[in-house]
Amino acid sequence: MQPDLSLVFSTHGSELRRYLQRRLGDGHMAGDLVQDAFLNVIERPETPINDIRAYLYSIARNLLLNHLKQEARRRTDVVAPEAFADIAADQPTPEDVVDSRLQLERIHALVQELPLRTQQIFALNRVEGLSHAKVAACLGISESSVQKHLAMAIAHMTCRLRGR
């Protein structure tokens, strides 16, 4: 049976609010969490509660913990501008750019060694991001054929990159 919530609220509401306010230091948020705790009781399935006070404190404690976790995620600490000098830039170094270009050119050359149909399938799947089914539909071939061409392309490129 659902407890008489107006009686429960008048009996335990102020006590619960003080408990939360002591931990939060914010009366408004404590009041909001008390309301949420009572909403939780209202929305719960019809099961008997042996100790409504303990049940309310349990709900309030969980709501408090969730609130504190959310606050911690939202918090941003003030950082001195000098501290940003030690943070690495998101941009690659000139050496990394050159290295990446050389790798890309090597892969492009390896793709050019493949038969034309395999090149098309590889480009559609690995460059354009099309699924096997979409590549097959685009080229009018079976998915199994797409898979075989991709396997051949990957095996060829792996062997060549390993120097075989």
* Residue spans per domain, the chain: 5-74, 94-161
Sign of CA pseudo-dihedral 33, 35, 37, 39? negative
Please tell me the distance from the alpha carbon of residue 28 to that of residue 34, in angstroms, as a whole number. Answer: 10
Residue 42 confidence (pLDDT): 81
Q: How far apart, in whole angstroms, are the C-alpha atoms of residue 156 and residue 97?
A: 26
Residue 39: what pLDDT? 86
pLDDT at 109: 92
Q: Which residue has the higher pLDDT, 32 or 79?
A: 32
Distance, in Å, from the CA atom of 44 to the CA atom of 161, rounded to the nearest integer, reads 62
Listed residue (43, 40, 37, 42) closest to 3, CA to CA: 42
Whether 64 and 40 have beta carbons less than 8 Å apart is answered as no
Q: Other CB atoms closer than 10 Å to residue 77's CB: what's the count?
A: 4
94-161, CATH topology level: Arc Repressor Mutant, subunit A (1.10.10)
Please give the Cα distance from 49 to 39 (Å, whole number): 15
Mean pLDDT, rounded, for 89-100:
83
What's the whole-number mean pLDDT along residues 17-39? 89
Whether the predicted model's global pTM rises above the 0.85 cut = no
* More confident of the two residues 9 and 133: 133
- Taking residues 113-142, what's their average pLDDT? 94
